[in-house]
C-alpha cells in the first residue's frame, strides 16, 4: 500500500511538473510528418532551436507538413497546434513548412504573446516576411529541400530579431477581441483605443486646416470685391476744369512696400516618421504572424 501511494504521488508530481513547464517559455517541439529529417539532422536542429528558445525565452514549435493542405487549413493548424502545446497567449512562435511537394508550397508562421512584438507583421515592420525570405533559400527546389539548414536559419532569425528588440511604439490590433495591445515595462497592455497617438501630427493637421480655411476666405473676399469694383478708377482731375486750373508745382511720390520672409522650422516631434511614429500589427484571436508561397 505504501509503495502504491509513493508511486501515485510520483506520477502526480510528474504531471504537475510537466504542466508547469509547458506554461513557461523556452520549450521546443518538432513534428516531422514525412520523416524528412535523419536522426542526426533532427538532433542538430532540435538542439539549435532549444538554444534559441533559451536565449529568447520563447516557446518554439515546428511542423514539417507532408500533406497537401489549403492556406486556411495550414494557418488554423499552426495556431491551434501552438495553443495545444503551450497554451493561448503564451510567449512563442510556431513555423509550418510545407513539404507536400505541391507546385507553390505555402509556409506559415504563427506568433503568440510577446512573440507578436519581436516578430512583427506590420507594413512598416514585417519581420515575419523577412524570416520567410531568409529560410526560402534552403527550401529550393521543391522535393529537395534542405530542411535542416532551414531550421538552423530559423533559429538564427529568432535570436537576431530578439536582440534587435521591439520596434518603438509598436502595437497590435486583435480583430477578435477588438482590442489594441502594446508593451510597457515588459508587460503586454490591452487598451480600447490605439496607443501612441501622435499629438504632433494632430496639431500640425489643425494648423494646416486653419491655413487652408484662411486662404479660402481670402479668395472668396477677393472675388466679391472684384465683382463690385469700378471698371475705371476715378481721378480727382475728372472734376476739374482743365482750362481754368494751372499747376504751379508737380511732384511724384512713391509708396514703398517692404516684404520679409521668415522660415519657420518644423520640430522633430511633428515630423512624419519621427520619434512619435507608431506601427501596428495584425492579430486574430491572440495570434499574429503571416505566410507566403514559395
Summarize pLDDT for 72-81 with one digit per residue, the tens: 999 999 999 9
* d(C-alpha 189, C-alpha 122), whole Å: 18
Which contiguous run of DSSP H or E holds residue 78? helix 71-86
**Distance (Å) of CA 283 to CA 60, 134, 289:** 18, 23, 8
pLDDT in tens, 91-106: 999 999 999 999 999 9
192: helix, strand or coil: coil
- pLDDT at position 185 over 80: yes
- pLDDT at position 70 over 50: yes
In this predicted model, which residue has the larger pLDDT, 108 or 234? 108
183: helix, strand or coil: strand
* d(C-alpha 193, C-alpha 61), whole Å: 32
CB burial string 130-165: b at 16+ within 10 A, e below:
ebbeebeebbeeeeebebbebbbbbbebbbebbeee
pLDDT at res. 217: 56
Q: Within a 13 Å sphere around the CA of 287, how many CA atoms are in the beta-carbon half?
A: 22
Q: How confident is the model at residue 87 (pLDDT cuts 50, 70, 90)?
A: very high
pLDDT in tens, 132-148: 999 999 999 999 999 99
127: helix, strand or coil: helix
- pLDDT at position 198 over 90: no
Among candidate residues 127, 137, 115, the one with its CA nearest the CA of residue 157:
127
- Burial class of residue 63, CB neighbours in 10 A (0-12, 13-18, 19+): buried
Give the domain ranges of the chain: 23-196+279-293
pLDDT at res. 196: 84
Among 21-30, 33-42, 247-256, the range scoring the smallest mean pLDDT is 247-256
Residue partners of 170: CB distance under 8 A and separation at least 6 = 117, 120, 122, 125, 182, 183, 278, 279, 280, 281
pLDDT in tens, 28-53: 999 999 999 999 999 999 999 999 99
Among 62-66, 215-219, 260-264, the range scoring the smallest mean pLDDT is 260-264
**Residue 82 DSSP symbol:** H
pLDDT at res. 25: 73
- pLDDT at position 127 over 50: yes
Among candidate residues 119, 144, 117, 115, the one with its CA nearest the CA of residue 134:
119
- List, as own/partner pairs, every contact residues 269-272 make where C-beta atoms lie below 8 angstroms and the sequence separation is at least 24, other chains included: 269/200, 270/200, 270/201, 270/203, 270/204, 271/200, 272/201
* d(C-alpha 292, C-alpha 109), whole Å: 9
Among candidate residues 293, 113, 111, 283, the one with its CA nearest the CA of residue 187:
113
pLDDT at res. 10: 37
Q: What percent of the chain has pLDDT over 70?
A: 64
* d(C-alpha 204, C-alpha 279), whole Å: 19
* d(C-alpha 273, C-alpha 275), whole Å: 7
- CATH fold, domain 23-196+279-293, is Diaminopimelate Epimerase; Chain A, domain 1 (3.10.310)
Q: How confident is the model at residue 61 (pLDDT cuts 50, 70, 90)?
A: very high
Among candidate residues 96, 82, 104, the one with its CA nearest the CA of residue 33:
96
pLDDT at res. 2: 43
* DSSP E strand stretches across the chain: 28-32, 59-65, 92-98, 106-112, 170-174, 179-184, 187-191, 279-283, 287-293
Amino acid at each position: 500500500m505504501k509503495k502504491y501511494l509513493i508511486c501515485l504521488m510520483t506520477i502526480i508530481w510528474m504531471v504537475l511538473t510537466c504542466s508547469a513547464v509547458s506554461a513557461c517559455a523556452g520549450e521546443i517541439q518538432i513534428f516531422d510528418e514525412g520523416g524528412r529529417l535523419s536522426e542526426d539532422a533532427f538532433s542538430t536542429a532540435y538542439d539549435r532551436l532549444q538554444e534559441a528558445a533559451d536565449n529568447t525565452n520563447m516557446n518554439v514549435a515546428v511542423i514539417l507538413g507532408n500533406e497537401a493542405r489549403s492556406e486556411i487549413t495550414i494557418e488554423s493548424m499552426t495556431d491551434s497546434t501552438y495553443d495545444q502545446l503551450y497554451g493561448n497567449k503564451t510567449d512563442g512562435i510556431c513555423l509550418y513548412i510545407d513539404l507536400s511537394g505541391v507546385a507553390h508550397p505555402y509556409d506559415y508562421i504563427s506568433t503568440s504573446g510577446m512573440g507578436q512584438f519581436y516578430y512583427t507583421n506590420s507594413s512598416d515592420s514585417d519581420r515575419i516576411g523577412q524570416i520567410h525570405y531568409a529560410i526560402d533559400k534552403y527550401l529550393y527546389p521543391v522535393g529537395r529541400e534542405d530542411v535542416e539548414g532551414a531550421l538552423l536559419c530559423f533559429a538564427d532569425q529568432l535570436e537576431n530579431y530578439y536582440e534587435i528588440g521591439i520596434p518603438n511604439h509598436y502595437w497590435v490590433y486583435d480583430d477578435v477581441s477588438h482590442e489594441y495591445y502594446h508593451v510597457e515595462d515588459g508587460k503586454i497592455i490591452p487598451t480600447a483605443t490605439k496607443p501612441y497617438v501622435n499629438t504632433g501630427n494632430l496639431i500640425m493637421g489643425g494648423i494646416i486646416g486653419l491655413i487652408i480655411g484662411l486662404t479660402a476666405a481670402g479668395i472668396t473676399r477677393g472675388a466679391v470685391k472684384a465683382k463690385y469694383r469700378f471698371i475705371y478708377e476715378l481721378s480727382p482731375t475728372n472734376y476739374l476744369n482743365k482750362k481754368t486750373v494751372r499747376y504751379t508745382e508737380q511732384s511724384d511720390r512713391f509708396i514703398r512696400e517692404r516684404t520679409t520672409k521668415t522660415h519657420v522650422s518644423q520640430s522633430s516631434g511633428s515630423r512624419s516618421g519621427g520619434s512619435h511614429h507608431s506601427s501596428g500589427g495584425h492579430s486574430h484571436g491572440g495570434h499574429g504572424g503571416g505566410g507566403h508561397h514559395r
